[in-house]
Chains A and B, each alone.
Chain A
């Protein structure tokens, strides 16, 4: 009996693998772009999706009023170019292009646009776009094709255009009674974009097929579909790309990956400096860190070029952090306007001497060694605690370098390890002056517009729950930020941000550590994706993609 059972089980397994073998080889002529990625969660609604992977799916299924152009400007997507900005009424007025239809063939009108933004403004809305809803005071539907958005005085400015990049959803399809019933439609998306959702499986794949009813025939997809396939490990991604199981993927910006792609036939690399930075924030309410000379000295005593070499390996994969404006932005003041804090221990020592940290006391460090730690006249030790999270490798590398070089200038560094979420919670807790940390490091992706208000550098958001955990506030810096937010003339704005960047660069309450690159591996069979860039998402290129068989 047992033997029989086993034989049956074994033979059925064999039969299954034989079946799989057959089906695997059956090829079809459909042109499918296969993207290796992990992290999609199935929230395929542009006003709900909260990670970049779901957002990419949404970008292919939905279209917004405007989209970003390759230079970081804005162009109409559903809206015609030349939208009207009324500075007196604080309003943006958009007119839709002609003949726009959802993928089910129904017309997309301003009623759908209004519905989309009203959904964000609903009381039980619990998605990540609350700020968008709060920025829009009211909407006036003028006719089927024209809609006026009145922006709150606080949010009105050139950056307000970013509220209009989110995909427009169908009013008819997305009727809902509450937040949960709206979410029931996340897996049945209906938009006007070049793809539609065929099916998806959690942590396996997202299968998109061409929108056969796409309203703008000239820009319809040439391929039949896009498959997102879930691959977790970087090494597996690269192997799958080399073996031809996927057509492209984003890789970790590491030297080994660049070299590996270079060595492998049939694939090539695309890389560019990303719109974002890594930073090091100081708690300026601490007696050790409230003098700008001390913060400057700590930066002079940090060999960041060596750090970049050690962490990223290749020069094109990272650039030295200078100011809180992305190096790719039109608002970046230029390297020669800013201090790079080149590694110089003598300068660091002199700054600390001049700042009054002249006394010494023998201190045992966490690794058991002893240093002559600096002290000031009040008896405060120059001792700092740095919160490091292990989810990324760079904070560990950087703090490791600092442990040695800061030790040489008489600063005792204590590295405290905790997970990302705990670092985030610890630094946000408490009002300014009551924060319980000395230094922490993190990375930040930026929006296209350089407006820094509300973020890491805003002296008005330094209390409990805000991003600026440094407790540092400067009147001039605040004035400039507000002026920059309200100025519509880009050249004048650039001047304002130059002065602002120099203030931040000199006072360094938060120092920019590095600007990092993003790298992509792409199969040589795919054409049309090589223009992926800092402001050009791959999703906006899909319409041009063709795949050689």
Chain B
């Protein structure tokens, strides 16, 4: 296991660098630059060129790539000229909300999706299964922004149970920490439901099909033949084995959740990296774009590693040597 972990962590490095290299190449081919957004008629082409040289010097992409790596190793991820702040600070101000939102949505979707999938599988073709299938397909098919606007209209604007926008109430800026934390949780309920619903549907579908496959296998028949209680058969024998593909799903859903948060962030006016990266593309803010992508790449690589390790935890047959 230890050797395997070291090997996997060492593998992450070339993969990470490779992805970044491709990113640098694509960005170097994109038209437009950060100064194209400045619309001041008094700015002469010479002034614009001088500013461009200060903000983003014209260098070959592999030189920029090398410089970026060297600086990053020193903990400097560049300067966002759109915000006049180091990239790390800009991402730092937005990442908390995205992770909080993604995590809440993930937990919510697992808490609902997995049990629903089991129920659906154990009562295949029953009324419950059909209803759950219809709901899960609807959940997958429903556009996030539309669902978001719908819930916003009903629960925030008409019923006024939840706040309409934002992550916090401006009047509580100096309130005690716990109050502010509670306020944040209160603001995150609707967005997490919206983001979690589509995820719930996919968790449910995966759990259902995985369970169905396992239930039909020989060892379940053996367990039943031994005269074991049906509950023990399903939850101890079948569920543990059915979880294996779900664990992989977990690792792969994390980056998806973060990018999926974009729509939710926009509808609920939340600070987040999804919106931030779209703005970075529009303003050709390459240092920020690279910072966000490096972070997302790293998150994905680590999430898949964790999923692989979790394999061994849920399935004792798997040994890493």
Contact = CB atoms under 8 A, between A and B. Distances in A.
A282 B136 CA distance: 53
B282 A465 contact: no
B165 A230 contact: yes
Contact of B149 (A134, A203, A235): A235
Contacts of A71: none
A137 interface: no
B45 A444 contact: no
Interface in B172-186: 172-173, 175, 178-179, 181-183, 185-186
Contacts of A245: 163-165
A444 B185 CA distance: 42
Contacts of A315: none
A227 B166 CA distance: 13
B88 to A, nearest CB: 13
B41 A455 contact: yes
Interface stretch (B9-17, B76-84, B199-207, B303-311): B76-84
Nearest to A130: B47
B93 A232 contact: no
Interface string B79-103: 1011111000010011000000000
A42 B83 contact: yes
B105 to A, nearest CB: 14
Interface in A132-176: 132, 134-135
Contacts of B90: 202
B93 A202 contact: yes
Contact of B82 (A18, A41, A425): A41
Contact of B170 (A42, A43, A130, A205): A205
Contact of B83 (A43, A126, A204): A43
B224 interface: no
Contacts of B208: none
Interface stretch (A91-99, A405-413, A414-422): A414-422
Interface in B1-60: 31-33, 36-45, 47-51, 54-55
A461 interface: yes
Interface stretch (B126-134, B212-220, B247-255, B262-270): B262-270
A243 B157 contact: yes
Contact of B169 (A24, A198, A454, A458): A24
A229 interface: yes
Interface residues of B, number: 66
A461 B32 CA distance: 20
B171 interface: yes
A426 B31 contact: yes
B160 interface: yes
Given A243-B157, A422-B32, A424-B32, A38 B269 contact: yes
B36 A32 contact: no
Contact of A421 (B272, B275, B283): B283
Contacts of A456: 41
Contacts of B111: 6
A35 to B, nearest CB: 11
A38 B47 CA distance: 29
A8 interface: no
Nearest to B90: A202
Given A229-B165, A230-B269, A426-B31, A465 B40 contact: no
Contact of A201 (B179, B271, B272): B271
A516 B167 CA distance: 34
A397 interface: no
A419 B267 contact: no
Nearest to A184: B85
B170 A41 contact: no
Contact of A20 (B31, B84, B171, B183): B183
> Most B CB atoms within 10 A — which of A23, A34, A230, A456?
A23
B132 to A, nearest CB: 21
B312 interface: no
A463 B45 contact: yes
A231 B157 CA distance: 14
Contacts of B228: none
Contact of B44 (A13, A34, A428, A461): A461
A21 B84 CA distance: 37
B241 interface: no
A5 to B, nearest CB: 11
B287 to A, nearest CB: 13
A534 to B, nearest CB: 19
A16 B84 CA distance: 36
A233 B282 contact: no
B90 to A, nearest CB: 7
Contacts of A134: 47
Contacts of A180: 79
Contacts of B94: 202-203
Contacts of A126: 51, 54-55, 81
B81 to A, nearest CB: 7
Contact of A236 (B32, B84, B269): B269
B40 A128 contact: yes
Given A21-B186, A126-B54, A454 B44 contact: yes
A239 interface: yes
Interface string A177-206: 000100100100000000000110111110
B183 A444 contact: no
A38 B31 CA distance: 27
Nearest to B80: A41
Contact of B173 (A18, A198, A230, A458): A198
A131 interface: yes
A425 B36 contact: yes
B168 interface: yes
Contact of B178 (A19, A135, A426): A19
Nearest to B178: A19
A231 B167 CA distance: 11
28 contacts: A16-B182, A16-B185, A19-B178, A42-B83, A42-B85, A128-B40, A132-B42, A199-B173, A202-B90, A204-B166, A204-B167, A204-B170, A205-B170, A207-B170, A231-B164, A231-B166, A232-B267, A240-B164, A420-B282, A421-B282, A421-B284, A422-B32, A425-B36, A428-B36, A455-B41, A463-B45, A465-B45, A465-B49
Interface of A: 6, 13, 15-21, 23-24, 28, 32, 34, 38, 41-43, 45, 48, 50, 124, 126-128, 130-132, 134-135, 180, 183, 186, 198-199, 201-205, 207, 227, 229-233, 235-236, 239-240, 243, 245, 391, 419-422, 424-426, 428, 444-445, 452-456, 458, 461, 463-467
Given A126-B81, A186-B84, A230-B269, 16 more contacts: A19-B179, A20-B185, A131-B44, A201-B167, A203-B275, A204-B168, A204-B271, A227-B170, A239-B152, A245-B164, A419-B282, A421-B31, A421-B36, A425-B31, A454-B41, A466-B44
Closest 9 CB pairs between A and B?
A465-B45, A203-B271, A455-B41, A19-B182, A20-B186, A131-B42, A421-B32, A202-B93, A425-B32
